Amino acid sequence: MNFNKRICFLLTLFVLHGVTHETFAQRKQKDKNEEGVKSNEYIEQEAEYYFTEGEKQYILEDYAKAVNSFRSSLQLIPDNDVAYFKLAQIYNKTNQIDAAKLSIEKALELNRENAYYFLLAADIYTNSNDLEKATQFYEELLQTIPGEEHNLFQLGAIYLYLKEYQKALDTYDRAESYFGINEQASVQKQKIYLKQNKVDEAIAEGEKLMDAYPGNPKYVLMLAEMFSSNSKDEEAIHLVDSMLATNPDVAGAHLFLADIYRKQRKLDEFEKELLKGFDNPAVVINAKINAVMKYMALLPDERLEAIIPILCDKIMSVHPDDPNGYLLTGDVYSTLVQKQYITQDSEDVYKEKAVDAYAKYVHYDASKFNVWQNLLNLEIQIDRTDSTILHSEQALEVFPNQAWLYLVAGVANLQKELWDEAVFYFEEGIKRASSNDQLLELLYGYLGDTYNSLEEHDKSDEAYEHALEINPNNELVLNNYSYFLSLRGKNLQKAKEMSTKLMRLNSENLAYLDTYAWVQYKLGFYEEARRVLEKVVADKAANAENFDHFGDVLYQLGDIKNAKIQWQKAREMDKTIENIDKKIEQGKIIQ
């Protein structure tokens, strides 16, 4: 090979090798760069995926998974302030306060231009009762981010709670400078001044507010209340009277004056203003209800006892479509009866009014069981048997498992001598009162009475036995059971045991004494029967049956003359006693 050509070939190889090596190196570097770009994109996409998943889980309130997702996102991009903010939200919601503090402070370290971060930080430190720190976040927020002045009110409230009164006043002044004179700032400043015993400054704030809104009577009443609360009643009266001279229909003004006049013991003026307020339909019913309840708490008081029922009647008249007025009236009238704030002559009238009010209320709202209880109890007391049956049936439509309602319905039907209906309600009540011995005792007792009236004596005795198993000292059952056995002449020894026990429990009840004596009579112990019945008929409350029984006892003892006298007394009291005329005419017992 030619030397020159060989050198040339070698040089060519060298050049090609160099070019190839350089090209390969460049390509390798390029591939490496492209791989790096793809890796960053992948990281960002992966971080965004975890963040989005965290958002979804947060919305679904699956906080544990949301925390894991946000943490995974932060592992990929550690300077994501939004992820720290979301973690702080979750920790705050789940009461992990220390973790919430760390997360929100990290978010603020990365970004101090987001108002929500400051607000969440303030909330977290407020929840941990570090109010000083919370105020620092509010202050920085207000200093660095425009348009957040509405947070001045929250900042002022915290300063007020911390008793940093001057800072609170300054804060509310800042709010007033930005928003103008406003109720929230003025009222809070009044509170501060009153805490500092600066009454004049507090009044001045009220006057400033009233002057700023001259057409708003609310601020007149607020200022009047300020006067009255600080022993300036005459100034309060003058202020309200001046307002009423030009605006006579201001709601609440008359109720306010009534309170002042009552405090001054000017009771005629008190009643006059009170009635004006209650006659005004513009005064909301809740204000009137609150007034009535306030005065009820002051009883006993003769003047209030007379005026409160009138106020209730006015509420129902002025607000006929609001059921709360009927509920209030029912409660008031029944309470006046229960507490004995009325004369005995008025008791039934008040019960009637309570019943009428409750009956109207359940027409609007049948969902309150205690109202049905009040209504039915009162109806039973005033012998409104028909409406008791009606209302107990209506109540059972709403509360079909309330055993007490079956008891009431049964008693009402028993009073109407609707025996089969009464049995139905008592037996249905028993099915539902299995865990209430007191109620079962009553149901079985009344069921025994009802079956006796149906002359189903075995069922009657069985019901009485059930009642006595629950309470062996049930006086009504002992009385009725023993008396009915004596009338039937059955199981007289058991009747004797029960009536004797009854005497040990209560030896003053005339009905029980009569039952005991009649059992003794049926057993042939006439002297013992006479001894007891002499005590009974000597009582002014003795009834026709007592005299009839005493006559029968005297007849068996051979005292026919006095027997006829007792029968005559019985007839004078009740002409319907079986065979009473024949007894008197023939001078002997007629079976």
For residue range 108-120, list pLDDT tens digits in order: 999 999 999 999 9
CB 387 within 8 A of CB 353: no
The tokens 């348009």 sit on which residue?
Answer: 147
pLDDT of residue 525: 97
pLDDT band, very low/low/confident/very high, at 4 (cuts 50, 70, 90)? very low
Mean pLDDT of 148-175: 96
Handedness of CA 405, 408, 414, 418 (dihedral sign): negative
Whether the per-residue pLDDT at 479 is higher than 80: the answer is yes
For residue 127, what are the CA distances in angstroms to 123, 124, 134, 221? 6, 5, 9, 36
Distance, CA of 588 to CA of 565 (rounded, Å): 12
CB 237 within 8 A of CB 257: yes
SS3 label, residue 525: coil
Residues 6+ apart with CB under 8 A from 34: none
pLDDT of residue 435: 86
Angle, helices 217-229 vs 233-246, to 10°: value is 160
Whether the per-residue pLDDT at 271 is higher than 50: the answer is yes
Q: What are the two backbone dihedrals, phi and then psi, of residue 95, each rounded to the nearest 5 degrees?
A: 60, 30
pLDDT of residue 251: 85
Whether the per-residue pLDDT at 319 is higher than 50: the answer is yes
pLDDT of residue 25: 38
Whether the per-residue pLDDT at 1 is higher than 50: the answer is no
Residues 6+ apart with CB under 8 A from 127: 92, 95, 97
Higher pLDDT, 429 or 15: 429
Whether the per-residue pLDDT at 55 is higher than 50: the answer is yes
pLDDT of residue 38: 46
Does the model's pTM come out above 0.75? no
Distance, CA of 48 to CA of 42 (rounded, Å): 10
pLDDT of residue 248: 86
Task: Respond yes or no on whether the N-terminal peptide bond of residue 214 is cis (omega within 30° of 0).
Answer: no
End-to-end CA distance of the chain: 166
For residue range 435-468, list pLDDT tens digits in order: 899 999 999 999 999 999 999 999 999 999 999 9
Mean pLDDT of 546-556: 96
Mean pLDDT of 535-543: 95
pLDDT of residue 7: 29
Whether the per-residue pLDDT at 22 is higher than 60: the answer is no
For residue 90, what are the CA distances in angstroms to 63, 95, 109, 116? 7, 8, 19, 14
For residue range 157-168, list pLDDT tens digits in order: 999 999 999 999
- What average pLDDT does the chain have? 91
CB 432 within 8 A of CB 402: yes
